[in-house]
Amino acid sequence: MIEISPNQTNASPAQNAENPSSLSRRQFLAQTGAAVVACSLVQPGQVKGAEANSKINVALLGCGGRGQWIADLFQKHGGYQVSAVYDYFQDKVDAAGQRFQVEVGRRYTGLKGYLRLLEQKTVDAVIIQSPPYFHPEQAAAAVEAGRHVYVAKPIAVDVPGCMTIEESGAKATAKKLCFLVDFQTRAMPAYQEAVKRVHRGDIGRIISGEATYQTGAIFQQVDAQYRKNPQSSEARLRAWGTDRVLSGDIITEQNIHALDVAAWILNAAPLSAYGHGGRAREYFGSCWDHFAVIYYYPNNVLLSFSSKQVGFGWDDIQCRVYGSEGTIDTHYGGKVTVANREEPYNGGETKAIYQEGAVRNIAAFHEQIVQGDHTNATVAPSVRSNLTTILGRTAAYRRAEVTWDQMIQANEKWDADLKGMQA
Ligand SMILES: NC(=O)c1ccc[n+]([C@@H]2O[C@H](COP(=O)([O-])OP(=O)(O)OC[C@H]3O[C@@H](n4cnc5c(N)ncnc54)[C@H](O)[C@@H]3O)[C@@H](O)[C@H]2O)c1
């Protein structure tokens, strides 16, 4: 961990000259970090004046379901204030604006509205909850403008997007900014303890594993609207979850939760993958609804992966890895265990993970900002697992074996063709 004195500023000297008012606020936040953390332990009424000055001003980028839900959790944390909102659509931005009492002048729309928002000197950090296609460009612009970044998974839909996030994470560290990718599993103590035990050898030599993400169909409502108006690029944007390019397809957009845990346990990137998949549901859009991929990891470790986003009767986000001496079994929202003869571990149920994981990440982000911890440790594993999903997707689309190196070298960029949309 890089040790940063709380008295160091969060900006470079150049930023300092360009943006003096915002710097002095951020300087204040860094200097009063310990006090802010202490304040949150006291009844809100007792610290009202001090608190108002010390809150981190966050801007919400993407005001849909998760965006509004998570912005509410940021407010409930006590150390943040939602001070600006952005979405492509006016109705979405107004809904969030009203809910979080953001004045009309601080609500931004259109494809480039986030750039206008970033001109707001009082914004300290952005919470990116837009469709995945936009995450790399929005995160890069925020870091460029000297803002801390909290971003939803997946970080990107293609290889160049992953590389952009990797660069933004490194740039954030260099600029003394925080950059956190919100994977709930990695924030949960039961997962952390179980994976730690595997890494210290509790299941012996790892042989093979399986990662699965099975669920029913989603995005039906927006899909139905899209069907009524298939020529409309705005209807497509509202139905982004059914669109391969905007979402990354289900293996990247949704199934990443299972493959991220696999990458964490195996602590490696796959060497190659062979895949298959298809679409059974009568959905509009271009996403597949089921995948099956065999990943080949170093040391002859095999991981079989399968997923579905269709049908009824089985829902689970699971990763199980088999070793010569035991097994780790993890379920998002279910049990997390390590079985072996010597020292089995029962991490119990993780029923509250969806909210608890986010709450923990929101608290960690706050602590990193006020303590000046710019190590940004969530970036590298997020890039690795995102690329793992892209490797499996590429192999499945081709119904062929694709190596990691081939995928990286091809550096295939996806273009959503948003011509004609409001800037
Ligand atoms: N467990 C999790 O970590 C989890 C769960 C759900 C969603 N997510 C992620 O959160 C993000 C948002 O998902 P959601 O469920 O809220 O979807 P949503 O459709 O409810 O919200 C997305 C919002 O983004 C807006 N938008 C469209 N284009 C935009 C652009 N260019 N810039 C800014 N906003 C734009 C849409 O109008 C919509 O309001 C996605 O990246 C998704 O993968 C993560």
What's the pLDDT score for residue 53?
57
| C-alpha angle 120-123-127 in degrees, rounded to nearest 5 | 120
Does residue 224 surpass a pLDDT of 70? yes
Return the CATH class of domain 13-183: alpha beta
* Plot region of 209 (φ>0 → left; ψ -120 to 50 → alpha; else → beta): beta
Domain 13-183 matches domain 186-365+381-410 at the CATH topology level: no
Asked if pLDDT for residue 34 goes beyond 60, the answer is: no
Q: Which amino acid is at 311?
A: G
Higher pLDDT, 1 or 129: 129
Instruction: Give the pLDDT confidence of 252-291 residue by residue, as tens digits.
Output: 999 999 999 999 999 999 999 999 999 998 888 999 999 9
Residue nearest to atom 28 of ligand 1 (CA): 88
Name the CATH superfamily, with its identifier, for domain 186-365+381-410.
Dihydrodipicolinate Reductase; domain 2 (3.30.360.10)
pLDDT (tens digit, 9 = 90+) per residue, 376-406? 999 999 999 999 999 999 999 999 999 999 9
The closest residue, in CA terms, to atom 38 on ligand 1 is 64
Locate 404 and state its tokens: 């990691």
For ligand 1, atom 18, which residue shows the shortest CA distance? 64
Model pTM score: 0.90
Q: Given the DSSP bridges, would you call strands 301-309 and 290-297 parallel, antiparallel or unpaired?
A: antiparallel
Tens-place pLDDT, residues 148-173: 999 999 999 999 999 999 999 999 99
End-to-end CA distance of the chain: 40
Q: Tell me the pLDDT of the chain averaged across its residues.
A: 89
Average pLDDT rounded to a whole number, residues 345-372 = 98
Name every protein residue with a CB atom under 6 angstroms from any ligand 1 atom.
61-67, 86-89, 92, 111, 129-132, 134, 152-153, 182, 184, 237, 253
Q: Output the CA 182–ligand 1 centroid distance in Å.
A: 13
Closest atom, ligand 1, to C-alpha of 66: 16
Please report, for the chain, the start and end positions of each structural domain, with discontinuous segments joined by +. Answer: 13-183, 186-365+381-410
Q: 130 C-alpha to center of ligand 1: Å?
A: 4
- Ligand 1: atom nearest CA of 246 is 28
Mean of pLDDT values over 325-336: 98
